Amino acid sequence: MTDFAAARRNMVDGQVRTTDVTDLRITAAMLEVPREAFLPPAKAGLAYLDLDVPFGEDGRRLMKPMVLAKLIQAIDLSSTDRVLDVGCVTGYAAAVLARIVHEVVALEQDAGLAREARGALASCANVSVQSGPLTQGWPQGGPYDAILVEGSIEIAPEALLRQLKDGGRLVCVFGAGPGAKAMLYCRSGNDIGGRTVFDATAQLLPGFVKPPEFAF
C-alpha cells in the first residue's frame, strides 16, 4: 500500500523546494492537500510523480506539481486576494490556493470534471466551482486579483485579462512543445504587460489552440 503522506513529503522536498519555490505558504499547502484525493482510485499511485496526470480521452491533465507551484509563486498572492483558477480539472490547484488566499473561483468546462471538483472541494468553504468555456473566464465573479491558467495556451487570453483588477496578475504557460514558457501578465489601468518567468511545458487547453495556418 502506498504511503501517500511520505510520497507527499518527497514530492515537496524533491520536486518543489529544489526548483526555487521559496514561498512557505505554497509548500505548506502542498504538504497538507492530499493530491491522491483528486485522482480516480486507479491513478492514485501517480499522484506524486513528476508528471502531468492524464484524465479521460480528451487530453486534459492535472498539472505537474513543480510547474503548478512555480506558477502560483509567480503571481505573488496576498491572503486577501480573489483568484480565478481556469481549467481546474478536479480541483487540486484550487484546494492549494484556498489555503493561501481569501477566495477561489474554480472554472471547468468539462461537466464531468466540474462535478468531480465540486465533490473533492466540498470541504473548502472559500472555493466555488463554476462551469463554462475556459476562454471566457467567469466575469460574473470578477474582477480578480489574480488568475491562474492551468495549462498551455497558444493565443492571447484576451477575455481573461479583461477580468483582472487594476494591479491584477495572470499566469499561464504560453506555447507548445519544448519552446513553451511560463508567462506573467500584469494589468496597470488599461495597459497589460507581459514577461517570461521560466521555461515550462503543459497540456494545451481546449479553446486556446492556435488555428492552423494555410500556405498557398
pLDDT in tens, 82-128: 999 999 999 999 999 999 999 999 999 999 999 999 999 999 999 99
The CATH number of whichever domain residue 102 belongs to comes to 3.40.50.150
Q: How many structural domains comprise the chain?
A: 1
Question: What pLDDT, on the 0 to 100 scale, is given for residue 215?
Answer: 54
In a domain, 37, yes or no: no
In a domain, 22, yes or no: no
pLDDT in tens, 125-162: 999 999 999 999 999 999 999 999 999 999 999 999 99
40 pLDDT exceeds 80?
Answer: yes
10 Å CB burial of residue 147 (0-12, 13-18, 19+) is buried
In a domain, 32, yes or no: no
In a domain, 205, yes or no: no
| Cis, bond preceding 143 (omega within 30 deg of 0) | yes
Question: What pLDDT, on the 0 to 100 scale, is given for residue 178?
Answer: 81
pLDDT in tens, 177-215: 788 999 999 999 989 999 999 999 999 999 998 877 655
C-alpha separations of 23 from 35, 77, 149, 161, 198 in Å = 19, 10, 19, 25, 16
pLDDT in tens, 57-88: 567 899 999 999 999 999 999 999 999 999 99
Cell of 1: 500500500
27 pLDDT exceeds 90?
Answer: yes
In a domain, 91, yes or no: yes
Per-residue pLDDT band at 1 (split at 50, 70, 90): low
In a domain, 19, yes or no: no
In a domain, 60, yes or no: yes
In which domain, by residue range, is 144 found? 51-199
